[in-house]
Structure 1
Amino acid sequence: MASAPQQPQLPLFYKDLMPLNSRDHQGWKSKNFDDASFLASTHAIPITVDEFIDTQRNFPIVFTSGENSLPIALMGLNEGVNTFVSDDGKIEDNIYLPAYARRYPFMLAKLREDSDELSLCFDPSAGVVGEFDEGSALFDGDQPSETTKNILDFCQKFEESGQRTKAFIDEINKLDILMDGEIGITTQENPNNPFNYRGFRMVDENKLRELPTDTLENLHKNGMLMLIHAHLFSLNLMRVIFARQVRQGKGPQEVTQAAQG
């Protein structure tokens, strides 16, 4: 069972990719993760535009820096800190878990450079796909089982949502309304020395207000204005996430000390 050709850099969470097929994986099963420990040291998770409304209830939505900006949900403000996963790997109840995390360890990937065809693959290192006694069968004979069909459907919808996300990013880039973001958060203990967070992008509200009326009307009609407002409203949660870090003993000072220790 050979792994798929390795990409220069695999996506977040994935340590390896193996194409799923009935020849090599006959009798294999998929089971649920016992916990969310694979998320524990991840502070930012990619999201799609279809998730903005659900995401903004729990997490700040910002955009990555660089040429190919992506929307991400912040589950922590510091590298390696996820305030929604406990020390024993349990994820907090009643929060929206982004689809990117829910599809793991599966994903659609190109196996050949000369083809745009996508194949259903999985990360064998995740430990939830294999020759188990319990779990959901991935094949019924040499045909995909209902479980595999559902996984494939979910991954296909995720890819389609990714295309809509790219179109959204292309549009706001064309409008030139993104700017480098910065937020300073002070504490009662140290009110004159704020913790400054940079390295992300956000919509510039001044540029948004200055857009021509017909442009704003078009953004409203195609649903993009609602997404932009969801992003902007969610930024108020930056301070909420910071407070969660502090309560959990994962504030920036503690994080720095842990890294040095």
Structure 2
Amino acid sequence: METTQPAGGISGNVLFYSSPEPLNREQHAKLALVHKDKPYSFALNGTAVPLAVTEFAPAALSYPVIFAGDDRVPLAVMGLNTGENLFIQADGAFEAGAYIPAYIRRYPFVLANDESQDRLIVCIDRGSDLLAEGGQTPLFDDKGEPTEYTQNCIKFCDDFEVERRRTDSFVQLLKDNDLFELKKAVFTPMDQNGQPGEPQTVAEYFGVSEEKLNALPADKIKELQTSGALAQIYAHLVSLIGWDRLIALATLRQQQQVANGALN
């Protein structure tokens, strides 16, 4: 991937990236990564984060994995309210034991479209507080060449793009087999006496219909199994149990905020 030439025009808005710039040895020669024990503050408002299909299984242990929009983009749901991430603390700490999506791990690097030359180029978020001239791990060495750290980050972005395309193919397969349906995540609150109240819809999203899946002909099921898609479908379906955990986390955080308000 190109890292040194300025782009004619970078297109697209990318979640978390406030000031993306093409990585350039002249402009960014003195930039370095700032080491932080809790570096995830940039994702505090990431309610839902894009996932690659190969991440479904590990992500399913932590989050509901859903599909959104006309493109049926796979997302890891990390909060119930817009601008809320229940797995990241205000100090930038990530919930212990929770899977960290690759979309978050690649930050502050990203691939972006260079419209003038119809290609993808490596960019960094110049607005990130993880990059500074006084940082610990340089992006370029004394000869102006990308350091091992930068090379690894570029490879990570390249691999991420490969997985993104694989994910597009997986989603198209689900579309071709007409497996999507609109689903709802429902929460039933308890009153002061411990009795269930009126069920409340907390989210609407697209997911795989088990009924449609089970109705597929045997040869179609075999195709899904052989391609590995069936395992990813079941990881998605199992992940939906995670709505209960998400609701419990949201309730706990709300109770903590009320308690802190009372103390103040």
Return the match for 1:238 from 232, 240, 243: 243
The CA deviation at 1:187 is 1.6
**Is 2:39–2:130's contact at 8 Å kept on the other side of the alignment?**
no
The CA deviation at 1:6 is 5.1
Structure 1 unaligned blocks of 5 or more:
255-261
State the identity as a percent.
Answer: 32
TM-score relative to the length of structure 2: 0.87
SS of the aligned residue for 1:24 comes to: coil
SS of the aligned residue for 2:127 comes to: helix
Which residue is equivalent to 2:222? 217
Return the match for 2:53 from 49, 65, 68: 49
Which residue is equivalent to 1:259? none
The CA deviation at 1:163 is 0.5
The CA deviation at 1:155 is 0.4
Name the count of aligned residue pairs: 248
Return the match for 2:172 from 170, 173, 182: 170
**Is 1:64–1:199's contact at 8 Å kept on the other side of the alignment?**
no
Question: Which aligned runs of 4 or more in structure 1 are off by greater than 3 angstroms?
Answer: 2-7, 32-35
Which residue is equivalent to 1:107? 110
The answer on 1:249 being equivalent to 2:254 is yes
The CA deviation at 1:23 is 1.6
Q: CA RMSD in A?
A: 2.1
**Is 1:3–1:17's contact at 8 Å kept on the other side of the alignment?**
no
Check 1:43–1:179 CA distance in 2 against 1; reply closer, same or farther (3 A cut).
same
1:141-152 pair list within 5 angstroms: 141-152=143-154
The CA deviation at 1:70 is 0.6
Report the Cα distance in structure 1 between the residues aligned to 2:30 and 2:100, rounded to whole angstroms.
30
TM-score relative to the length of structure 1: 0.88
The CA deviation at 1:31 is 2.3
Q: Deviations over 1:129-171 (max 9, x none)?
A: 2311x31111121211111100100000000000000000111
1:66-215 pair list within 5 angstroms: 67-111=70-114, 113-132=115-134, 134-140=135-141, 141-189=143-191, 191-215=196-220
SS of the aligned residue for 2:254 comes to: coil
Structure 2 unaligned blocks of 5 or more:
1-5, 259-264
